[in-house]
Amino acid sequence: MAQFQLNVNGTAHEVDVDPSTPILWVLRDHLSLVGTKYGCGIAQCGACTVHLNGIAVRSCQLPVSSIGNNKLTTIEGLSEKGDHPVQKAWLEHDVPQCGYCQSGQIMSASALIGANSNPSDEEIDSAMNGNICRCGTYTRIKAAIKTASNS
C-alpha cells in the first residue's frame, strides 16, 4: 500500500492503495465516483474512458502510481451542471438505451471535440471505435457528436 495524491475533477484526493491499482478501481471503490464503468479491464471496450489532461484514456490500464500531478476528469466532473455541449447533445438525441457505456462514449466524444471542434465522419469513426455500445446506439452517438460540434 502507498499514499497517492490525486487531482480528480479539480479536487485533491488522497488514497492509500496498492500502487498497481488501476485508476478505474480507485475512482469506483475509493472515491465513490462510479460514473466511470468497468467493461473489460483490457482497454478494449472504452466504458472506463476518462480524461488525463484533457486526453481520452482507458482508466482500467492506468495504475494509480502513474498519474502523478496530472489532471483527471471523469464524467462527474465533465461539467458542473451536466451541461457540457456533448451531454446536452446526448439528451437532445436521447442517445442511451441501457446507458452503461454512455459515460465512456461521452468522455471519448468530448475529448474529440476538445481537440477538433468540427470532426469529419471519418475522424468520429476513428475516435469512437474504441467504445463498444452493445445496444447499438452508434448512429445516434454520431448524430449527437455532430450536434455538439456545431454548438
Q: What are phi and psi of 35, to 5 degrees?
A: -65, -30
Of 6, 8, 96, 112, the residue at the interface with other proteins (CB under 8 A) is 96
Q: How far is CA 122 from CA 84, 89, 128, in A?
A: 23, 20, 10
Q: What angle do CA 65, 67, 72 make, to 5 degrees?
A: 140
**45 part of the interface to other proteins, by CB under 8 A:** yes
Long-range contacts of 18-21 (CB under 8 A, 24+ apart): 19/63, 19/64, 19/65, 20/63, 20/64, 20/65, 21/63, 21/64
**35 part of the interface to other proteins, by CB under 8 A:** yes
Of 94, 115, 117, 150, the residue at the interface with other proteins (CB under 8 A) is 94
**67 part of the interface to other proteins, by CB under 8 A:** no
Q: How far is the CB of 84 from other proteins (least distance, A)?
A: 9
CB atoms within 10 A of CB 10: 10
**58 part of the interface to other proteins, by CB under 8 A:** no
Of 131, 147, 149, 151, the residue at the interface with other proteins (CB under 8 A) is 131
**2 part of the interface to other proteins, by CB under 8 A:** no
One-letter identity of residue 115: A
Q: Would you tell me which residues interact with other proteins (CB under 8 A)?
A: 1, 17-18, 20-22, 25, 28-30, 32-42, 44-45, 47, 74-76, 78, 82, 87, 90-91, 94-103, 106, 121, 124-126, 128-129, 131-142
